[in-house]
């Protein structure tokens, strides 16, 4: 039974962001297995978890939180380019400062 539960968790994690039809179907099936309630089937998730001495709702909560973290849109990170000669957006401060690198032009204060 432990192997069955471990395999279900592995499939849940592997296919949470699946793009292929077959992989999406695997994820849907394992997700339904985890969230099915009050089943009389001997190998239902609730029966397996309870026979292993685990709380099914606690595991469901953990899987839900993990799924939320995995499927949440990632923030974009932008870096300033330190090469002042490029024409790319964010190409460094030298294009907006009058004197690159804090140096004054000769003959000025």
Measured in whole angstroms, the distance separating CA 88 from the mean position of its chain's CA atoms is 30
Q: Evaluate if residue 108 carries a pLDDT over 80.
A: no
Distance CA 20, CA 23 (A): 5
The alpha-helical segments, DSSP class H, found in the chain are 2-15, 21-35, 45-51, 56-71
> 67 and 85, same structural domain?
no
Q: What is the mean pLDDT of residues 16-23?
A: 96
User: 109 lies in a domain?
Assistant: no
| Range(s) of the domain holding residue 9 | 2-71
> 60 and 34, same structural domain?
yes
> 58 and 86, same structural domain?
no
> 36 and 84, same structural domain?
no
What is the number of domains present in the chain?
2
Q: Evaluate if residue 102 carries a pLDDT over 70.
A: no
Q: What is the mean pLDDT of residues 30-46?
A: 94
């Amino acid at each position: 039974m432990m192997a069955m539960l471990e395999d279900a968790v592995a499939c849940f994690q592997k296919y949470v962001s699946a793009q292929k039809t077959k992989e999406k179907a695997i994820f849907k099936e394992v997700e339904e297995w985890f969230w099915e309630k009050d089943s009389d089937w001997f190998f239902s998730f609730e029966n397996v978890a309870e026979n292993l001495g685990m709380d099914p709702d606690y595991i469901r909560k953990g899987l839900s939180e993990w799924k939320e973290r995995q499927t949440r849109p990632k923030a974009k990170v932008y870096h300033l380019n330190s090469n002042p000669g490029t024409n790319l957006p964010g190409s460094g401060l030298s294009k907006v400062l009058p004197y690159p690198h804090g140096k004054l032009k000769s003959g000025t204060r």
